[in-house]
Amino acid sequence: MQPTIEQLRERYGSRYKWLVLFTVMIGTMASIMSSTIVNVAVPDLSRYFTLGQERAQWVSAGFMLAMTLSMLTTPWFLLRYGLRRTYGGAVLLLLLGGLVGGFSFNYPMLLSMRVVEGLAAGILQPIPSIVVFRIFDRQEQGKAMGIFGFGVVLAPAIGPSVGGFLVELFGWRSIFFVVVPLCLIVLLMVRQLLAVNSRLMGEAGPLDWKGLLLACIGITGLLNGLVHLHDGFLQSVPMIAVGLAAIAGFIAYQLRTHNALMNMRLFRYPQFAAGAMVAFIYGAGLFGSTYLLPVYMQMALHYLPSQAGLVLLPAGVVLALTIVAAGKLSDRLPPNLLVSIGLVLLALSFGLMAVSSAATGYVTFMAWTIIGRVGLGFVLPSLSLGAMRGVDSALIAQGASTINFLRQLGGAIGVSLVGIFLQWRLAAYHASASKEASLKAFSETFLLVALFCALAVVAALRMKTPES
């Protein structure tokens, strides 16, 4: 018989909340790694499946689309099934996607498994923030977010580095199998540390499937329309129009339905509304650059996949150290100030990438990447805390899911826009004819990402909590 939450708290004492946080951190690391590790394999996947760059980007965009949509369902799953079953079920789904994805024999099968992984990741990623706000005292929340962030940021740092070596040694299939041992470890931890009755909230109402359907139509239509911009403006306009109409319908429906996926009362809090805007714009810049950098290193500068991945490793270590310090600072300084500083450093990093050339050294790329990751370290623990402080406790779960949803929606749109913009500039400069033309196309794309981050600073300055 599995122990109850009361028995586990008695067994582990004050350590129990940290053990729960560590458990959900490992699963989230696995989901983030599955998101970023594929980016270094995009050139190999393009060659293996004979894909154009605009189709290959769906390996990332499809994952992010599924993840974005499933994030909206996390509060309902927690209400309906509790923390243990929700978290364990999502980890099992991630395990399935990794195993089957590694054995894919055609592109549709590969893409479908990326979607399965994305669905799992979307359910997993809001959970740590909900756990922090639910089981930690306010004076410990910044520290908890910093420690959680320390583990989570190692995943995107280690992922591309490990993925680069795996692609060279064993081929692209091996990168899908990386999540398998992590998922197995998490399932064991779930069995030992999460109680069957580990509910963080009240009782569940019916799932808002109409809202979910509208969101699905809206986001899919918008992203498909963006992807098809390269085929012609007239072909993409109807899909974009349908997507925007469905998103408008989703918002209108959420305003009047009782069991809404996204409680619109959250946006009555000024700090939450500003934080939501920051999350969207920041997501577009961050995920767009995460897709862009490995492709740039390989396509424009002709580095090996292992070298393209390794450039992020020192920055990941610096980021892990920065985020712990930033987590502690967010308990003392206004979160909007820390977020603004971080976004400025991110924009600077991408701006430096934009002025790079074939003569730029490998170590210099590492240094510029470190600047951006230091900025990311300031943003991560402060964004959720700044947006959520002062929000009614009954709205915490939906607030955490909404912030994650908007960040990932921005990321999905950002990956698509970056891929489309890059394809447009490569064609405009006839980049296949010369290396200089290719570098120019990538430089302009990095400037676009820097602009995303600069715009987010404007919103971050308005993200003031009631106490600040």
Query: 249 falls in which pLDDT band (50, 70, 90)?
Result: very high
Q: Is the pLDDT of residue 200 over 60?
A: no
**pLDDT at res. 184:** 92
Nearest residue to 42 (alpha-carbon basis) of 266, 299, 258: 299
Percentage of residues of the chain with pLDDT beyond 90: 6
DSSP code at position 3? P
Cβ neighbourhood burial of 258 (10 Å; 0-12, 13-18, 19+): exposed
**Pick from 29-43, 147-161, 174-188, 262-276: least confident:** 147-161
Residue 455's CB is within 10 A of a number of other CB atoms, namely 18
Residue with the larger pLDDT of the pair 130 and 340 = 340
Highest mean pLDDT out of 83-97, 145-159, 389-403: 83-97
pLDDT tens sequence across 33-79: 787 777 677 777 777 777 665 566 677 777 877 888 888 888 888 88
pLDDT of residue 375: 87
Q: How many Cβ atoms sit within 10 Å of the Cβ of residue 48?
A: 15
pLDDT at residue 120 above 90?
yes
Q: What is the pLDDT of residue 431?
A: 62
Please name the residues in contact with 346: beta carbons below 8 A apart, sequence gap of 6 or more.
Answer: 285, 286, 372, 375, 376, 379, 453
Flag whether pLDDT at 231 surpasses 70: no
Query: Residue 456 pLDDT > 60, yes or no?
Result: yes
pLDDT digits (tens, 9 = 90+) for 339-375: 889 889 988 998 998 888 777 888 888 888 889 888 8
Check residue 92 and give its pLDDT.
93
pLDDT at 191 over 60: yes
80, 336 contact by CB (below 8 A): no
Decide which of 37 and 250 is more confident. 250
**pLDDT value of position 52:** 63
The model's pLDDT over 382-396, given as tens digits with 9 standing for 90+, comes to 887 778 777 777 777
Q: Residue 28: what pLDDT?
A: 84
> Given a cut of 90, is residue 93 above it in pLDDT?
yes
- Domains of the chain, CATH where assigned: 5-207+259-460 (1.20.1250.20)
Question: For 271, how many CA atoms within 13 A lie in the half-sphere containing its CB?
Answer: 22
Greatest C-alpha distance within the chain? 69
- Please tell me the distance from the alpha carbon of residue 30 to that of residue 33, in angstroms, as a whole number: 5
**CA 122, CA 126: separation in Å to the nearest integer?**
7
Q: What is the mean pLDDT of the chain?
A: 80
pTM above 0.85, yes or no: no
What integer pLDDT is reported at residue 204 of this predicted model?
61
Q: What is the pLDDT of residues 283-320, one digit of tens each?
A: 787 777 777 777 788 777 777 777 776 777 787 778 77
